[in-house]
Amino acid sequence: MAADVLIALARANLAASVAILLVFLARSSVRRWLGAQLAYASWILVPIAAAGSLTPLDVSARPLASARAISLAAKAWLAAGPDAILVGLWLIGLAASLAWVVWSQYRYGLAARAGQAGPAVFGVIAPRLVVPADYSARFTPEQRRLIRAHERAHMDRLDPRFNALAVLLQCLGWFNPLLHLAVRAMRLDQELACDATVIARLPGDRRRYAEALLISQRASVYAPLGCHWGGRSVHPLEARILTLMRPQPAQDRRDAGMIGLAVFAVIIGIGAWAAQPPAPLDIYPVIYVSMDPSP
């Protein structure tokens, strides 16, 4: 049983890693030609690939000899003893990752109550807007209106819940460095997508929006379950300003991109499902029935 869990975990992380590399290679071009919203949406390929790799495969299918040999060798090696040790290490890492999430969320809550955090959306089930104590003094009324529009876009698109799912997957695959890089890049693409959404609604406020970004504070604390207005470093801020300067792609191009993403998601899911080796047929009992009518 432990060996099966480890193999499934490894298979899901391998499929997710392939999807992450594909998104990393394509996200800049997708953002440039099809818009920031589609670049953010392309991260859906990662959980689809992982889920496809875990979907049961028809046991009647004949796997490639190499895939079957690797699967049998991995199970034999794990069954020899390392399975319990590796499962224990994974559980320790999972517990430590969840503890870090709880601690970081708690610290952000303390900073928010002290007026030292935000602007941000904080929480998952009932997200709320968090602003710093000097919010009214630092931002003009027009800038505050744009910040509220940005955070409202996060709430309308259920971004806090998507972030919670990303954090959960990150904790489950804590040993996978690509997964940590992917979550960080996804959060930046999420902010760029919200920026593009607000500017599409309020195209005349592009300059005010950029000014609000420039004077926003750099986050001193981090909330894993939340959406931050300001980046944790200068580089995301630069990327957001540069993205604001680009014109929005035409609607027909964005529609074509969404159709292409849906088709590619189906291909990724089916590919991850078909790539897994099915359970070896020889593990199932074979019952022989005699057809000889003689007693």
Condensed to tens digits (0 to 9), the pLDDT of residues 33-78 reads: 999 999 999 999 999 999 998 887 654 454 444 445 445 555 554 5
Residue 193 above 70 pLDDT? yes
Interval 224-236 mean pLDDT: 68
Q: What is the pTM of this model?
A: 0.83
- Lookup: tokens for 64: 């490639």
Residue 15 above 80 pLDDT? yes
Residue 284 has a pLDDT of 40
Interval 150-172 mean pLDDT: 94
Residue 287 has a pLDDT of 43
Interval 25-29 mean pLDDT: 93
Interval 153-177 mean pLDDT: 94
Most confident of 91-95, 202-206, 219-223, 238-242: 91-95
Model confidence pLDDT, tens digit, residues 194-227: 999 999 999 899 999 988 888 875 556 778 888 8
Residue 285 above 70 pLDDT? no
Interval 176-183 mean pLDDT: 95
Residue 115 above 80 pLDDT? yes
Q: Among 216, 204, 217, which residue's Cα sits nearest to residue 244?
A: 204
Top pLDDT among 171 and 75 is at 171
Model confidence pLDDT, tens digit, residues 247-283: 888 889 889 999 999 999 999 999 888 877 655 444 4
Residue 272 has a pLDDT of 87
How far apart, in Å, are the Cα atoms of 96 and each of 83, 101, 105, 278? 20, 9, 14, 33
In sequence order, the 6+-apart residues with CB closer than 8 A to the CB of 67 are 277
Confidence of residue 81 (pLDDT cuts 50, 70, 90): low
Neighbours of 279 (CB within 10 A): 17
Residue 289 has a pLDDT of 46
